Amino acid sequence: MCRKLLNGEEALYIEGPDRYMDKERRRYVKFLNPEGGFYNLKDPIPIFIAGSGPKMLELAGELGDGVILFGTIGESFFNYCLEHIKIGAQRAGKKLEDLYILVMTAFHILRKGETLESKSVKRAVGPFVASSLNLTALAVVNYETKGKTEAAKGEPLPEDVREGIMRFAKAYAAEELGPERKHLKLYSEYLLGWKEEHDPLVTPEVIKASTLTGSPEEIRDTIHRMEEQGVNQIMIQPILDPYETIDSFHENIMSKY
């Protein structure tokens, strides 16, 4: 439907039956009056689809022009995602190279005396680790426990990251709260603030698997490797200080890449 609309064509819109209508209603929709200059349909508009689990990754590969990934930095983890994207692309008669692959992640250069276990490092990238791997764990939990389905082919998460990632399935559970207030705790400082309850989950292994953390040389090498694997763009999610993060990435990574 979106593809047809962006191509300036009519698309069939279906709604119901639901609580508001007792039977299905169908009607055609399209962008009206494109010649008015209110929007541009003359130039191609790509469709980007974000995904974390196997089914969504395959759908993104099949229907999208580009795919947005979250925290897929480790080599085996990224290859796992590419495998599912490739399956979807092949269903549509496309190659992996036809898709624009974007990876969102966090970034931190280790300072003197810091290690991947330092509290300062966890505060710098931990919120992204927890949020991105929580999405992955929730997206693959049924796939992991119930096996392959007709809708998703391929292999489960790689062994070297599987246990660490799946521990995030309940990272934002807030089981002590009811549905009326659960979301208030879950999304308080989401992607921004460090939660102490995530400390045992954010291990050196998952930091490396999901973020660009290390020395400038290590980070540049990782980006080179990801480029060779098929990544077209890396997007940095600042956690602590956006301006400092952007300046540091430019000075230590981009200017020397």
Checking if the pLDDT of 145 tops 70, the result is: no
248: phi then psi, degrees, rounded to nearest 5: -65, -40
| pLDDT, tens only, 60-109 | 999 999 999 999 999 999 999 999 999 999 999 999 999 999 999 999 99
E runs forming strands in 7-153: 11-15, 25-29, 48-50, 66-70, 100-105, 107-109
Query: Which pLDDT score, from 0 to 100, does residue 188 have?
Result: 77
Give the DSSP H/E element, type plus range, for residue 141: helix 119-146
Residue 16 CB partners (closer than 8 Å, separation 6+): 22, 23, 24, 25
Confirm if 158 and 77 have CB atoms less than 8 A apart: yes
Confidence class of residue 156 from pLDDT cuts 50, 70 and 90? confident
Q: What is the mean pLDDT of the chain?
A: 91
For residues 179-208, give the mean pLDDT: 88
